[in-house]
Amino acid sequence: MEISLFWSFLLALGLCFDTFAVSVSSGIICNKITFRQGCRFSFVMAVFQGAMPLLGWLVGKGIHKHIEALDHWIAATLLLAVAIKMIVDAFSIDKDRKLNPLKFTTMITLGIATSVDALAVGFSFAFVSSDILWVIIMIAIVTFLAAMIGLLIGKKSAGKFGKPLEIVGGIILIVIAIKILLLHL
């Protein structure tokens, strides 16, 4: 099954909500952020969000032949697990906001933390897609734009949109998981 541009966009949208929420929070914390700092922050988020599915896909391709009969169930289960985690995290208590999200090591940490779900998605895609190059590119582009927009919104708002958007992201991943199951059943 090849992933269409539309589904790639929906997947990217679903995965970028964590990054968007972190970006909104970062914009609130660093409300004097410059465009250049925003680009740097967004680039780091996009690199991790794009690299993690590739890493997951490579690992998944290595073991695909051994579990091919169950691949659609694994893909759907991983996507559902990520979706549920996103929705549960949306209801968790906010962390301490005294860190500096523009510090490079903090950006790396945030990049990893917000892209772990993309690793699982990439792993699951190893079982349903032979080519994820466009998916990875779409994820990186959408994540970059979401981070930039999130930083801007964070600068301008009280940051009340992060949690509902994480829930929407989780719901989008649930819809994609259901689509994978329906295509294979």
Q: Contact, 21 vs 163, CB < 8 A? A: yes
Between 118 and 35, the higher pLDDT residue: 35
Average pLDDT over residues 7-32: 84
Q: Contact, 22 vs 101, CB < 8 A? A: yes
Q: What are the φ/ψ torsions at residue 181 (nearest 5 degrees)? A: -65, -45
Q: How many CB atoms lie within 10 A of CB 35?
A: 10
Average pLDDT over residues 122-132: 77
User: Is the overall model pTM greater than 0.75, yes or no?
Assistant: no
**DSSP letter, residue 91:** T
Structural domain count of the chain: 1
Q: Contact, 144 vs 42, CB < 8 A? A: yes
Q: Contact, 122 vs 61, CB < 8 A? A: no
Note down the domain range covering 158: 5-184
Lowest model confidence (mean pLDDT) among 18-32, 113-127, 159-173: 159-173
- 26-84, pLDDT tens digit by residue? 887 777 889 999 999 999 999 999 999 998 888 888 776 676 667 678 767 777 877 78
Average pLDDT over residues 102-111: 88
Q: How many CB atoms lie within 10 A of CB 181?
A: 15
